[in-house]
Amino acid sequence: MIELNYRNIKEEIIGCENGLDIEREFDNYKDAIHKIIADLNSNKDKPGQKLRWMNLGYNEETIWYVKEYAALVENRFENLLILGMGGSSLGGKAVCEALLPTYWNFLTKEQRNNYPRIFFLDNIDPDQMNSLLNILDLKKTLVNVVTKSGSTAEVMAQFMILKDRMEKELGEDYRKNIIATTDKNIGILKQLSDQEGYKTFYIPDDVGGRFSVFSAVGLLPFALLGIDIQEITQGIKDMDLALKNTDIHCNIAAQNALIHFLMDVKKGKNISVMMPYSYRLRYVADWYCQLWAESLGKEKDKNNNIVNTGQTPVKAIGVTDQHSQIQLYNEGPSDKIINFLRVKEYDTTLDIPNIFEYTGISYLGGKTINQLFNAEADSTMASLIDYKRPSVTITVPKITPYYMGQLLYMFEIQTAITGALYNIDAFDQPGVEQSKNYTYALMGRVGYEDSAHEVNSKLQDSVKM
């Protein structure tokens, strides 16, 4: 299983000012944590609780549908293009980048075993879009439009550009190159798909965007790319079983949730750094940032008190950011908790050849790059201890579908528990909706005239293009 080590948040390691008497805290919060976990599990099937993401590992029907479709289109497409924002793309990207060979899109078709290249278009920068459109052969591209609400302006605009070009290039057949992933009942994309006859996959009710990676949002691209989704779901199920344990001493998601919560409210560590020592896990850090930020950054608690909760999540990559951010983490404001995300066994072992005799570098010869990578992580951790900065380490045995299922699900449960500790709704995002509505207003969407007036008067003296 994935492991959590929290030694370096303890008082005896980093001192009383920054550290926690964690065993005492586990005792203090034992009952609260027990109740939170019990409530999560007993409420997960109740409509409106927004907890159905907890069932996704068991959704055999979706697994069957996505596998059936993947088999149907096998060998047909050279490119898979995902249009989606935030939760509709970050999880998919995190898992694909972790599990496909690095630089996948540069491999030949044979090296990819005929599976398509993968592109996540999660921005609308016109230059970026144009460059991508210039390199994609649309006849050989499967476009998956992913939007739970079915109306997010960025995704729908991307889709309109793509659809228009595909229709012109492919004629009537263009429909076979488009699939939609959206809500079953609401949204314009659902209406459009019915009208146009696109193959459509559904995101279940009560599964919010950032918790949707194990719905068709992620599982479909994974299946299309030959990733073993059965292994992923086995990982989720095994982690789910472990995290059903209501005893904080045996539940790593609850432990990390409580540690982060207390570090924030008691020790002023209002920044949570996610630092994978794995290039393949770099987008897990992005996914975590969204999950942590959007779920926990809330103005009001459940009793309507103004609380302005949430730690600011930051992505840092080992070793890259040792040479960029660690100076700040060690000597700057003591406002961070670092999450080291480490891998026990890399797929590859690379020897460093013994080719130079200069004493300043000869010590490297005969070692492996893996040893150096691990030593870099160990020494960064040790230097944080010197400066009395808290860190936890999450260890993934190996980067496989099974452990990716475990890892992401663990973070989801950790987030839900942390939300409960803050007593906030971790599953809404009114702050995102607000700016989405202003965009609709600025772009002239019918029904948003009042907002248009409001936003224009707010922005009067600001820079507008």
Interface with ligand PA5 by CB under 6 A: which residues? 85-88, 147-149, 152, 155, 208-210, 294, 429, 432
Cα 54 to chain center, whole Å? Answer: 16
Known catalytic membership, residue 294:
yes
What is the smallest separation between the CB atom of 87 and ligand PA5, expressed in angstroms? Answer: 3
d(CA 111, CA 108): 5
Q: How far is CA 214 from CA 92, 151, 232, 401, in A?
A: 9, 21, 9, 12
What is the smallest separation between the CB atom of 4 and ligand PA5, expressed in angstroms? Answer: 25
What is the smallest separation between the CB atom of 349 and ligand PA5, expressed in angstroms? Answer: 38
Residue 272: exposure state from Cβ atoms within 10 A (0-12, 13-18, ≥19): buried
DSSP at 204: P
Encoded tokens for 328: 């700040």
Encoded tokens for 26: 């586990």
Pick the catalytic residue: 61, 172, 323, 357? Answer: 323
What is the smallest separation between the CB atom of 427 and ligand PA5, expressed in angstroms? Answer: 9
Q: Closest CB to ligand PA5 belongs to which residue?
A: 209
What is the smallest separation between the CB atom of 54 and ligand PA5, expressed in angstroms? Answer: 16
Judged by beta carbon, residue 188 or residue 265, the one nearer ligand PA5 is 188
Judged by beta carbon, residue 158 or residue 278, the one nearer ligand PA5 is 158
Known catalytic membership, residue 323:
yes
Pick the catalytic residue: 25, 97, 154, 294? Answer: 294
Beta carbons within 10 angstroms of residue 128's beta carbon: 11
Q: Are 214 and 57 in contact (CB under 8 A)?
A: yes
Q: Is 340 helix (H, G, I), strand (E, B) or coil?
A: strand
Judged by beta carbon, residue 148 or residue 336, the one nearer ligand PA5 is 148
Pick the catalytic residue: 67, 176, 388, 436? Answer: 436
Judged by beta carbon, residue 160 or residue 328, the one nearer ligand PA5 is 160
- The contacts of residue 183 (CB under 8 Å, 6+ apart) are 148, 149, 150, 190, 202, 203, 205
Judged by beta carbon, residue 155 or residue 229, the one nearer ligand PA5 is 155
**Residue 340 one-letter amino acid:** F
Could you list the active site residues? 294, 323, 436
